Structure 1
Amino acid sequence: MKKCTCILAALVLCFGFAANAQKVEFEEFNLDNGLHVILHQDKTAPVVTVGVMYDVGGKDLGGSPEAPRTGFAHFFEHLLFEGTKNIDRGEWFTIVSSNGGSNNANTSLDRTYYYEVFPSNNLELGLWMESERMLHPVIDQVGVDTQNEVVKEEKRLRYDNSPYGQFLFAVSDNVFQKHPYKNKNIGEMQDLDDSTLEEFQNYFKKWYGPNNATLVVAGDINTKDAKALVKKYFKDIPKGNVPTRDFATEEPITETIDATYYDPNIQIPAIIAAYRTPGFKERDSYVLNMVSAYLSDGKSSKLYKKLVDEQKMALQAGAINVAQQDYSIYALLGLPLGDTSLDTLLAEMDEEIVKMQNELISENDYQKLQNKFENRFVNSNSSIQGIASSLATYYTLYDDVNLINSEIEIYRSITRQEIQDVVKKYLNPNQRVELKYLPKETTEN
């Protein structure tokens, strides 16, 4: 009986995978004002997601060349919920919730995404609200002052008073010398305090036009009707200027950079080895995603098993590829246990990197990696909201919407030899920042 149950479970898993991995169908078109529109019909549930992704993120500074300001894109993530010409201040969330919906927004260093999830009979409402946000938001001093306090509180809660809340900022500040990835996505509060209302209004005019946006409508829709509604609410929005970027190119890191950061919110120090690696569209970045999964995805991963389980030298140990559009950051991170020094912990993590440089990973480990990425691929397309976000992301940042279906083929094509070659190419001591992340009262380790 147990054997039959296991076989049945395996069959269910197999057929479930096949069902969930079905191709995501979509339709694309452009409006005359430059707005790119992606429609995805899925009638499995009576819900619809309306999302708008703007090609603007924390790397895009506000102010002027003479007085650049950080944090503007993230600030607008909040500011554009303040209200519009036809939506009173403070009413945005009330309208959404009273119509059975939910909404949110998020900002990275590369893009900003706003979305609503509604019962499908409220599709028109979602489109109207996003067109309101794009066409005539109210950007006034009251809203700026209100959201300034909101952002300050977020910064205090999530970063300033959170253990290890500054570690990515500390890494970025040392990995990048010229590129605006050096700056905090949330920005410096002094920059926001010093900014004028005119600077905020100019930032909106520069970055939030339809020609710098992607609209996604996904879910229980009739494609023909949805297309007509999109045109009704968005076609008359004036086209904006075409924003351009001219970021400085970073010189390669050729010698180890030693750095220290003091965090008053921690008691246990950390060691971080961070490398500047290619942007996420590059094939090598995909390989590095697999490297980080091999080293630290789960309790059976190499770093966790060795340093936490077996040698009991670390409370935590891992690796992550922080994938970004222009450059990425690959980081090894360890928190020592007991008397283990930071230098010793780093040496032990380096040992695993050297093994990968000198030997191919086992065929068994390689197959485990392939299974992990197959599973991630299926999960990423398991909800309408997730599909909508992926469609917008792949168009805005990757210039290829069909990656929502084909990206898994990149991972399937990566070989063990390629993994070894990429580790040799990028993960060397002379190509990194070695950051000691210490409790504030600690002066050395």
Structure 2
Amino acid sequence: MINKLKLLSCFLFAGAAGFAQEVEFTEYELENGLDVILHQDNTAPVVSTSVMYHVGGKDLKNDKTGFAHFFEHLLFEGTKNIGKGEFMSIISSNGGSFNATTSLDRTYYYETFPSNKLELGLWLESERMLHPVIGEEGVETQNEVVKEERRRSYDNRPYGNVLQVVQRNLFKEHPYKDPNIGYMEDLDAATLEEFNEYFDEYYAPNNATLVVAGDIDIEETKKLIEDYFGPIPRGNEVKRSLIEEKPITETVTDTFYDPNIQLPMFLLAWRTPGMKAKDAKVLDMISTLLSQGKSSRLYKKLVDDQKQALEVAAVNLAFEDYGGYAILSLPLGDTELETLKQEIDEEITKLQTEKISQREFQKLQNTFENRFVNSNSSVSGIGESLATYDVLYGDTDLINKEIEIYRSITPEDIKRVANEYLKKNQRAEIYYLPKSDDVE
């Protein structure tokens, strides 16, 4: 099935004439359940091969955390046909680049090669899926790698545990309460059998999407994909059920002490709808309105005009099952955290009681038009967008339709969403403080 996706114009200024990009993609499914999406762009001799697995930090093993992130590392260890440590050297020696990322909801592997190395990229990803080596040596090696990452990016990094503290206050039952990287004691306690079971459960073709984007011939690429991925056996169906959270009806207060910081931080956090909901897009707009750029409401007020904050940011956390929304602020000088809370609440109240101006609204629309076009300005960006829309939204056509969702948002929607989700009794108030010697 060939679909034409119209990536419509981005207006740099209100009323400016735009331009349209058209992206074609071919989408089909192999007999083993692997979703395949192909995008042809012959303007440059470059090809991106990528696989997104529908497995992330929320997918636990026997209540143990961190398995998906661990596998992001482990699946570079080698396969029956690729020696230990050779995976990355093969890519670089053939003029390619690579990376992998894991979120709470998915894991994404991708490579970019000169287009004459397309077959190499497909072989590498099929090897990763078909028969990786999951043994004691690789597990022990990557366990140390993950521990070092945990120390570097979380435990020893200033404000490194902010997201973890937000998650634990918004979620009490759902695995979103736990950090994506997991707890080291869980990985230390995991057995080799559990790692192999986890791979068998989640890293099968019927739980994955392969995207090839760039300088390709569609029919030739289809044949190569069938050769490399067709023989991989289908796995068992992944069974998922939503773990429901009770609504937050009373303000939650938490204090966290970080030995790596000197300045305190104040955060407000709310649980919100998952990424598929239109209201999640409205919250994206509210975040931009409040804190993106020096002319945004909170930045202009707290940082520029009143000189009360060193930094302020509003962040919409887009998760699959639920969402999270957080506003964080760092005080400047002797400003009290309670003062920051009052000032932020004042701006939230304005959102809830006053419709934003047409000038602000047009600026928001321009920003999201720009963001949309930029996200699909390269074959690798298009590849990731296609995979994300297929795996997490179940609708690859959203690469075409999502901008229309943002365009359909009105000033009234912004006011409504602020009233519905940013209530004082539905939030966590978090004091993220330096740890002094007298604090246990």
Please state which band the TM-score falls in when normalised by the shorter chain.
over 0.9
1:121 counterpart SS class: helix
Secondary structure of the corresponding residue to residue 24 of structure 2: coil
- Aligned ranges for residues 10-409 of structure 1 at < 5 Å? 18=19, 21-62=20-61, 64=62, 68-409=63-404
State the one-letter code of the partner of 1:56. V
| 1:399-436: CA deviation from partner (whole Å, max 9, x where unpaired) | 11111122111111100011100000000110000000
For residues 403 and 247 of structure 1, the distance between their equivalents in structure 2, rounded to whole angstroms, comes to 23
**Aligned equivalents of 1:311, 1:330: Cα separation in 2:** 24
* Secondary structure of residue in 2 paired with 1:206: helix
Q: Find 1:412's aligned residue among 397, 404, 407.
A: 407
Q: Over aligned residue pairs, what C-alpha RMSD do you find?
A: 1.4
CA distance in 2, matches of 1:407, 1:245: 26
- Deviation track 1:326-363 (CA, whole Å, cap 9, x = no partner) reads 11110111111111111110110010000011100000
Deviation at 1:442, TM superposition (A): 8.2
* Counterpart residue type for residue 54 of structure 1: Y
Distance in 2 (CA, whole Å) between partners of 1:139 and 1:328 is 33
Helix, strand or coil at the partner of 1:25:
strand
- 1:104-163 Cα distance to aligned partner (Å, 9 max, x none): 100000000001110000000100110000000000000000000111111111111111
How far has the Cα of 1:23 moved from its partner? 2.3
Give SS of 1:320's match.
strand
The one-letter amino acid paired with 1:371 is: N
Q: In 2, are the aligned partners of 1:56 and 1:112 still within 8 Å (CA)?
A: yes
Give the Cα separation in 1 of the matches to 2:242 and 2:218.
39
Report the identity percentage: 63
Q: Judge conservation of contact 1:169–1:183 (CA < 8 Å) in 2.
A: yes
TM-score using structure 1 length: 0.94
Deviation of 1:248 (Å):
2.1
Query: Does the 8 Å CA contact 2:242/2:321 hold for their aligned counterparts?
Result: no
Q: 1:6 is matched with which residue? A: none
* Partner secondary structure for residue 23 of structure 1: strand
C-alpha contact 2:266 2:430 (8 A) present in aligned 1: yes
The amino acid of 2:385's aligned partner reads S
Instruction: Quote the residue 2:428 is aligned against.
Output: 433
Partner of 1:4: none
SS in 1 for 2:403: helix
- The alpha-carbon distance between structure 1 residues 366 and 344, as it changes in their structure 2 partners (threshold 3 A), is same
Give the CA deviation at 1:14.
6.6
Deviation, structure 1 residue 24: 1.8
Quote the Cα distance in structure 1 between the aligned partners of 2:413 and 2:307. 31
Aligned residue for 1:26, secondary structure, equals strand
Shift of 1:174: 1.0
Distance (Å, rounded) in 2 between the aligned partners of 1:393 and 1:203? 22
What is the CA–CA distance in structure 2 between the aligned matches of 1:181 and 1:434, rounded to whole Å?
18
Q: Distance in 2 between matches of 1:329 and 1:261?
A: 19
Q: 1:180, 1:247 within 8 Å by CA — same for their partners in 2? A: no
How far off its partner does 1:247 sit? Answer: 3.8
Separation in 2 of the partners of 1:428 and 1:396? 32
The alpha carbon displacement at 1:443 in A equals 7.9
Q: Secondary structure at the match of 1:237?
A: coil
Report the CA distance shift for 1:220/1:294 in structure 2 as closer, same or farther (over 3 A). Answer: same
Find the counterpart in structure 2 of residue 3 from structure 1: none
Distance 2:94 2:326 in 1: 44
The DSSP-based 3-state class of the residue aligned with 2:50 is strand
SS in structure 2 at match of 1:266: coil
Q: Secondary structure at the match of 1:372?
A: helix
C-alpha deviation, 1:227, in angstroms: 0.6
Structure 1: which amino acid aligns with 2:47?
V
Task: Return 5+ residue gaps in structure 1 as ranges.
Answer: 1-9
Query: How many Å separate the matches in 2 of 1:259 and 1:247?
Result: 26
1:51 aligned partner, one-letter code: S
Separation of aligned partners in 1, 2:223 and 2:21: 27
Contact 1:56–1:207 (Cα < 8 Å) also in 2: yes
Letter in 2 for 1:25: E
Where does the alignment leave 5 or more consecutive residues of structure 2 unmatched? Answer: 1-11
Looking at structure 2, the residues matched to 50 and 376 of structure 1 have their Cα atoms a distance apart, in angstroms, of 23
Letter in 1 for 2:56: G
In structure 2, C-alpha distance between the alignment counterparts of 1:261 and 1:23, rounded to whole Å:
49
Q: What residue in structure 1 maps to residue 4 of structure 2? A: none
CA distance in 1, matches of 2:437, 2:262: 9
Cα distance in structure 2, aligned partners of 1:209 and 1:230: 15
